[in-house]
Amino acid sequence: MAMMVLLTLLVGIITFITRLSSYKSGEVKGMYFKLMQGQEVPEMVTKTTRCFNNMFEIPVIFYAACTLYLVLGVESLVGIVLAWVFIALRYLHATIHLTYNHILHRMLAFWLAFFCAIALWVNLVIKTA
């Protein structure tokens, strides 16, 4: 879970730096950030914002499952492998999103990570049944 928090922090920092530099350069007016609307913005501002927002969507399923593994004392090699694969795929997803942003590559990383998170839950249910 700490690796996901680190990824969220890194993407958040990139998002902040991108927003700040776009504001300082005059590409984006400060009022845009009030409601995140009102003008066209550079692609990187949109990409970083969406990538950062995504850190609070599917990973929530991962965090909840991992927390339950810990609280319930469930030990599972399958769970550990799925968690690390999820993390690797989320790093890959963020890297694709923030760099060349090829939609099929990004979508593949997203869905594989999603299925890992679901598999974590299935494994948890099986282990606690």
Q: What tokens does 104 get?
A: 């099929």
The per-residue pLDDT of the chain, averaged, comes to 96
* Closest residue by Cα to residue 18 from 54, 55, 44: 44
Domain count, the chain: 1
pLDDT at 37 (0 to 100): 86
Domain CATH code at residue 124: 1.20.120.550
Rounded distance between C-alpha atoms, residue 90 and residue 105, angstroms = 12
What is Dmax (Cα atoms) for the chain? 58
Global pTM?
0.93
What percent of the chain has a predicted confidence (pLDDT) above 70?
Answer: 100
Q: Tell me, what's the pLDDT at 118?
A: 98
Q: Which residue type, as a one-letter code, is found at position 122? A: V
Coil, strand or helix at 18:
helix
Q: Give the pLDDT band (50/70/90) at residue 104.
A: very high
Q: pLDDT value at position 100?
A: 97
Query: Alpha-carbon dihedral of residues 116, 119, 125, 127, nearest 10 degrees?
Result: -90
Residue 103 has pLDDT above 90, yes or no: yes
Give the range of the structural domain holding residue 102, as residue numbers without chain letter. 2-128
